C-alpha cells in the first residue's frame, strides 16, 4: 500500500507515453511523406486601411488590390504601428504567395500552416476563390493555438493552385504574424497537423482536466474534513487554473472581450491562490502581501471589464495588466521562496513550480508580441501540467509520510501489545501457580480433615477399646478392615473419573467385592449408561463413595443379607444409585431419631454436601436405599 501512489503514477505515465508513441507512429507516416509537399516560404505583403470590420468577398482578384506589395520571407512577423490611424479605422494585412510546382489535381490536397496570428477575421483565397474563413467578429478567436488546415477536394478547381492570398483584418495595435505554409497531399500533411494540434490543444486539455479532477476530489475530502483548509485551497487552485487555460483549446460561445476578461482575471486569482497555499505551508501570516494579493485581482477585474466606462482593452492596456500579473508572480515566488526555503520542502516545490510557470509564461509573452517567430510553441499551456506534477509530488509525499506515521504508530502499538501480552502471560502463569498451590493446599486440608474425622476417630476408638480389653480379636480385625477401606476410598477419590459416575462405582466394586465374597454375600451389578456429571470432582467423589460404602457396610453388619443388588437409573433432572438387599430390614424412623455419628445421619450429611438426597424403604423382605444426584449442582428435586 505504501507504493500505491507511485505505482499509479508510473502506470499513468507509461500509458500516456504508449498512447503518445502510438499517436506519433500513426502520424509519422504522413510526416515521412513531406517530400511530396511544397513548402511555401516566399511571399509579398501590404497593409490597407479599412473603416471597420467587414465581411470578406466571395472572390478576389489580387490585381485589383493596391500594387504596394513588399517581398518577404515566411514566417512573417509584423509589429504594431507607432501611430494608429485616426478614428475607428482597422487594418487589413494582405499576404500573397505564388505557387510554382507540379500538383496532382485528382487527389485530395490540403493547405497546412502552423499559425495565422490576428485579432480579427481571417480569409484565404486560392486561385481567387474564398476557400477558408474563420474568426468572425464577436466570436472567440483561436488562430493562436489551432494550426491552419484547408482541405482541397478533387473537382473544386480544374487547375492546380497557382496563387494563395491571405486576408488578415486586425486592429492597428495588434502584432500580426504568418507562419510558413505547406501545400500537398492531405495524407502527407495530416500527420503534421494532428501532432501539432494534439500537442498544442489536446495534451493541455488532458492535463487541465486531470488537474481539475484531482481538485474536485480534494473538494469532497474537504467536505468531510472542514478543519483542513488545504483541500479547499487546492480545489480553488485547480478550478482557477482550469479557467485560466481555457483559451488554449476551447471555443466558448461568448464574446471575445469577455473571454479575454475571464482569462486575464483567472490568472490574477490563480496567483492569489498560490500565495495562500504557500502561506499555509510556511505558516507566516504576511498580512500586507495577502491584502495586496486580494486587492490587485479586484482592481484589475474592475478595470478590465469590457464595458464603456472601464479602461479600454487595447493591446497596450492588456500588456500593462499582464505586466502587473508578472510582477505579482515574481513577488509571490520571491517572498514565498524566502519564507519556505528552509522551513518547508513542500513550499520549495511550489516555488519551483512558480518559477517554471513564469518562464513558460514569458515564452508565451514573447510569442504574443512577435519577439519570437509564429512557428514556436505556446508553452504556457503546459503550466498546469507543471503545477499538477509538482503538487502531485507534494500530495504523494504527504500520502507516503502519513502512511509511514501510521505504520510507525502501528508498530509502536504492536510492540506495546506484545509487551503487554508477555506481562499478561507471566501474570497468568503466576496466578495459575498460585491457584494450583491453593488447590493442592485445599485438597490436602480436605484429606487431612476427612482422615481425621473418619479413619482417625475409628482408630482412636479401636485403640481405647483394645487397651480396655473390651474388643475381641475378630472385632479388632473387622475394625481394621473398615479403616483400610476408608483409606482406599480416600485414595480412589483422587483418581480422575472424568465426570463418569459409573467409573466411580466400578472402582468401589473393585475394592469391596473381595470382602463381600469372604462374607458369602452375592453382588448383583445392574447398572446402565448415565449422563455425565460435570461437577464430579475429587471431594464430591469421596462423599459419594462413602455414602455407598456406608450403605453396603450397614447391610453386611446388620441385615444378614445374602444378596446385594446395585443399580443405576436416569431421571429428568438427575441420576439415581439404588442398593437393595434381602436382609431382615430395620425401622428407618427409629434409627434416624437415635443420635449417632456414623449412621444414617452421616449419609444424609454427605448427600447434602453434593446437593443430593438419600432415602430408605425397609421391610421384612429387605431394604431399598436410593441416592439421588443432580445433573447440575444447585438443581434439587423432590424424589
- What's the domain range around 606? 499-630
Number of folded domains in the chain? 3
Is pLDDT at 496 greater than 70 in this prediction?
no
Query: Which three cell numbers, joined as nine digits, stand for 194?
Result: 494532428
Task: Classify residue 457: in a domain, yes or no.
Answer: no
pLDDT at 560 > cutoff 50:
yes
Cis previous bond, 75, omega within 30: yes
In a domain, 404, yes or no: no
Q: In whole angstroms, what is the distance from residue 379 CA to residue 201 CA?
A: 11
Same domain, 232 and 213: yes
Query: 255-265 b/e with 16+ CB inside 10 Å = b?
Result: ebeebbbbebb
The whole-number pLDDT of residue 124 equals 94
* Domain match, 169 and 235 both: no
Task: Tell me, letter by letter, the H, E, C secondary structure of 560-611.
Answer: CCCEEEEEEEECCCEEEEEEEECCCCCCHHHHHHCCCCCCHHHHHHHHHHCC
Model confidence band, residue 492 (pLDDT cutoffs 50, 70, 90)? low
Average pLDDT over residues 57-81: 88
Q: How far, in Å, CA of 438 to CA of 300, rounded?
A: 90
Q: How confident is the model over 621-626, as a mean pLDDT?
A: 88
Mean pLDDT confidence for 228-239: 86
Q: What is the 3-state secondary structure (H, E, C) of 254-274?
A: CCHHHHHHHHHHHHHHHHHHH
Lowest mean pLDDT among 12-21, 67-76, 224-233, 244-253: 12-21
Q: At 149, list the grid cell.
A: 488546415
pLDDT value for 25: 46
Contact predicate 133/122, CB 8 Å: yes
Residue 583 above 50 pLDDT?
A: yes
Q: Is residue 44 part of a domain?
A: yes
Identify whether 188 is part of a domain: yes
Instruction: Classify residue 7: in a domain, yes or no.
Output: no
How far apart are alpha carbons 637 and 619 in whole angstroms?
A: 26
Closest CA to 328 of 403, 270, 389, 285: 270
Provide, rounded to the nearest whole percent, the portion of the chain with pLDDT above 70: 78
For residue 104, give the H/E element and its range. Answer: none
Rg (CA), the chain: 55
Average the pLDDT over 483-507 and give the result: 69
Q: Could you tell me if 191 and 300 lie in one domain?
A: no
Residues 44 and 127 in one domain: yes
The CATH number for 314's domain is 1.20.1070
Same domain, 100 and 192: yes
Higher pLDDT, 249 or 217: 217
Residues 202 and 192 in one domain: no
334 and 317 together in one domain: yes
Mean pLDDT, all residues of the chain? 79
What share of the chain in percent tops pLDDT 90? 13
Inside any domain, residue 637: no
Picking from 38-47, 367-376, 421-430, 494-503, which range would have the lowest pLDDT averaged per residue? 494-503
- 365 and 504 inside one domain: no
**Pick from 35-44, 166-175, 531-540: least confident:** 531-540
What is the pLDDT confidence band of residue 113, given thresholds at 50, 70 and 90? very high
Picking from 373, 395, 417, the residue at the C-terminal end of a domain is: 395
Q: Which of 375, 395, 415 is the endpoint of a domain?
A: 395
Last residue of a domain, one of 180, 196, 212: 196
pLDDT, tens digit (0-9, with 9 covering 90-100), for 293-311: 899 889 888 888 877 766 6
pLDDT > 60? residue 533:
yes
Residue 571 maps to which CATH number? 3.30.565.10
Q: Are residues 123 and 203 in the same domain?
A: no
Q: What is the CATH number of the domain that holds 151?
A: 2.60.120.260
Please check whether residues 218 and 99 belong to one and the same domain: no
626: β partners: 578, 615
pLDDT (0 to 100) of residue 3: 43
Band of pLDDT at residue 451, cut at 50, 70 and 90: low
Q: Could you tell me if residue 419 is inside a domain?
A: no
Closest CA to 347 of 386, 393, 385: 393
At 35 the pLDDT is: 60
Higher pLDDT, 591 or 544: 544
pTM above 0.85, yes or no: no
Bridge-based pairing of strands 109-113 and 181-185 is antiparallel
Identify the pLDDT of residue 56: 87
Same domain (yes/no): 32, 174: yes
Asked if 46 and 94 sit in the same domain, the reply is yes
Q: Encode pLDDT of 125-151 as tens digits.
A: 998 899 998 876 544 446 678 899 998
Residue 432, domain member (yes or no) = no
Check whether 454 has a pLDDT greater than 90: no
- 374-414 pLDDT, tens digit each: 888 888 888 878 877 877 777 777 788 888 899 999 999 99
**What whole-number distance in Å separates Cα of residue 416 and Cα of residue 427?**
16
Residue 121 — φ and ψ, nearest 5°?
-65, 150
Confidence label for 86 from pLDDT (cuts 50, 70 and 90)? low
Q: Is the distance from CB of 354 to CB of 332 less than 8 angstroms?
A: yes
Amino acid at each position: 500500500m505504501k507504493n500505491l501512489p507511485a505505482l499509479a503514477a508510473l502506470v499513468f505515465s507509461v500509458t500516456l507515453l504508449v498512447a503518445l508513441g502510438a499517436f506519433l507512429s500513426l502520424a509519422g507516416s504522413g510526416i515521412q511523406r513531406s517530400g511530396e509537399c511544397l513548402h511555401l516560404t516566399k511571399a509579398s505583403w501590404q497593409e490597407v486601411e479599412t473603416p471597420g470590420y467587414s465581411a470578406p468577398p466571395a472572390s478576389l482578384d489580387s490585381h485589383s488590390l493596391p500594387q504596394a506589395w513588399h517581398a518577404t520571407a515566411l514566417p512573417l512577423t509584423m509589429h504594431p504601428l507607432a501611430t494608429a490611424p485616426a478614428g475607428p479605422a482597422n487594418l487589413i494585412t494582405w499576404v500573397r504567395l505564388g505557387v510554382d510546382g507540379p500538383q496532382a489535381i485528382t487527389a485530395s490536397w490540403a493547405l497546412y500552416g502552423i499559425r495565422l496570428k490576428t485579432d480579427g477575421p481571417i480569409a484565404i483565397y486560392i486561385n481567387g476563390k474564398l476557400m477558408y474563413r474563420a474568426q468572425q467578429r464577436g466570436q472567440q478567436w483561436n488562430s493562436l493555438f489551432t494550426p491552419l488546415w484547408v482541405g482541397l477536394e478533387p473537382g473544386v478547381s480544374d487547375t492546380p493552385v497557382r496563387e494563395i492570398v491571405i486576408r488578415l483584418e486586425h486592429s492597428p495595435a495588434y502584432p500580426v504574424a504568418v507562419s510558413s505554409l505547406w501545400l500537398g497531399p492531405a495524407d502527407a500533411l495530416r500527420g503534421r497537423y494532428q501532432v501539432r494540434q494534439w500537442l498544442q490543444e489536446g495534451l493541455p486539455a488532458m492535463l487541465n482536466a486531470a488537474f481539475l479532477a484531482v481538485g474536485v476530489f480534494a473538494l469532497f475530502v474537504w467536505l468531510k474534513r472542514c478543519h483542513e483548509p488545504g483541500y479547499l485551497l487546492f480545489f480553488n487552485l485547480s478550478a482557477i487554473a482550469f479557467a485560466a487555460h481555457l483559451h488554449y483549446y476551447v471555443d466558448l460561445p461568448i464574446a471575445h472581450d469577455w473571454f479575454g476578461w475571464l482569462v486575464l482575471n483567472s490568472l490574477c486569482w490563480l496567483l492569489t491562490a498560490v500565495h495562500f497555499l504557500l502561506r499555509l505551508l510556511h505558516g507566516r501570516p504576511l498580512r500586507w502581501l495577502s491584502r495586496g494579493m486580494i486587492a490587485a485581482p479586484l482592481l484589475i477585474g474592475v478595470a478590465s471589464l469590457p464595458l464603456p466606462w472601464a479602461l479600454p482593452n487595447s493591446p497596450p492596456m492588456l500588456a500593462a495588466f499582464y505586466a502587473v500579473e508578472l510582477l505579482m508572480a515574481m513577488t509571490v515566488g520571491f517572498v514565498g521562496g524566502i519564507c519556505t526555503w528552509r522551513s518547508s520542502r513542500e513550499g520549495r516545490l511550489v516555488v519551483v513550480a512558480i518559477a517554471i510557470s513564469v518562464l513558460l509564461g514569458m515564452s508565451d509573452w514573447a510569442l504574443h508580441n512577435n519577439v519570437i517567430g509564429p512557428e514556436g510553441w505556446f508553452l504556457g499551456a503546459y503550466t498546469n501540467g507543471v503545477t499538477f506534477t509538482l503538487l502531485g509530488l507534494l500530495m504523494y509525499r504527504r500520502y507516503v509520510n502519513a502512511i509511514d506515521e501510521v505504520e510507525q504508530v502501528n508498530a509502536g502499538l504492536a510492540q506495546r501489545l506484545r509487551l503487554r501480552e508477555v506481562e499478561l502471560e507471566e501474570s497468568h502463569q503466576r496466578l495459575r501457580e498460585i491457584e494450583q498451590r491453593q488447590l493442592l493446599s485445599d485438597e490436602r486440608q480436605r484429606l487431612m480433615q476427612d482422615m481425621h474425622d473418619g479413619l482417625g476417630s475409628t482408630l482412636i476408638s479401636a485403640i481405647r477399646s483394645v487397651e480396655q480389653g473390651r474388643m475381641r480379636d475378630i472385632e479388632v480385625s473387622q475394625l481394621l478392615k473398615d479403616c483400610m477401606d476408608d483409606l482406599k476410598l480416600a485414595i480412589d477419590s483422587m483418581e480422575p473419573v472424568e465426570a463418569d459416575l459409573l467409573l466411580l462405582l466400578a472402582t468401589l466394586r473393585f475394592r469391596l467385592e473381595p470382602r463381600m465374597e469372604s462374607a458369602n454375600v452375592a453382588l448383583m451389578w445392574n447398572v446402565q449408561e448415565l449422563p455425565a456429571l460435570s461437577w464430579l470432582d475429587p471431594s464430591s467423589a469421596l462423599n459419594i463413595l462413602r455414602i455407598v460404602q456406608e450403605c453396603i457396610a450397614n447391610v453386611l453388619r446388620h441385615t444378614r443379607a445374602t444378596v446385594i443388588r446395585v443399580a443405576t437409573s436416569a431421571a429428568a433432572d438427575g441420576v439415581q444409585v439404588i442398593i437393595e438387599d434381602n436382609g431382615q430390614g430395620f425401622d428407618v424412623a427409629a434409627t434416624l431419631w437415635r443420635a449417632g455419628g456414623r449412621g444414617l445421619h452421616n449419609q444424609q450429611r454427605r448427600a447434602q454436601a453434593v446437593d443430593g438426597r438419600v432415602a430408605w424403604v425397609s421391610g421384612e423382605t429387605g431394604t431399598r436405599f436410593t441416592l439421588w444426584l443432580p445433573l447440575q449442582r444447585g438443581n434439587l428435586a423432590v424424589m
